[in-house]
Amino acid sequence: MGFLNKLRQMAQDGQKLAQDGYARFNNAAFADATMAACALIGAADGHLDPQERSRTAAFITSSDKLKTFDVAQLRQKYERYCDTIGRDFDFGKIELMQVIGKVKKPEEARAVVQLAVVIANADGNFDAREQAVVREVVHALGLSPAEFGL
């Protein structure tokens, strides 16, 4: 399967997972990992764009797929992780990757990656920097990038 087909399939799988909801993953490690991944995607180019940060925060609070979570807490986590990476990009990135790496169940790990792909593709442009961040997330979760066409 070609890269674009694999990317399209990942987005569809992520959308299906989102449609099914993340209720079965309603735990602190999953919530932390997904919000850390969202912050990392937003900072893929080395800085956080305020508009992108705001759009992602709006997605988090308005998504009916995340409604089984306390969306106010999710947004707080996201904002905290954005602040962490905004203070010191390199150390913040290390800290967020450690948060992501705490997810141990393969099904939850794959869901984190799928949500990261959905966020990265939300603007219709899954660029090389975002792909690189998703690859790092995949590695932090102990998964194979090949599984996701990366």
Tell me the domain boundaries of the chain.
Answer: 3-148
Chain segment 46-91, per-residue pLDDT in tens: 878 888 888 888 888 877 667 778 888 888 999 999 999 999 989 9
- Looking at the domain that runs over 3-148, which CATH code has it been given? 1.10.3680
Percent of the chain with pLDDT over 70: 81
**Nearest CA to 101 among 89, 113, 86?**
113
- CB-CB neighbours of 64 under 10 Å: 9
Q: Give me the pLDDT at residue 4, please.
A: 60
Q: Which two tokens stand for residue 53?
A: 């940060």
Q: Give me the pLDDT at residue 11, please.
A: 61
**Nearest CA to 40 among 102, 124, 123, 115?**
115
Average pLDDT, the chain: 82
User: At which residue do the structure tokens 């940060």 appear?
Assistant: 53
Chain segment 19-34, per-residue pLDDT in tens: 455 555 667 888 899 9
Q: Give me the pLDDT at residue 46, please.
A: 80
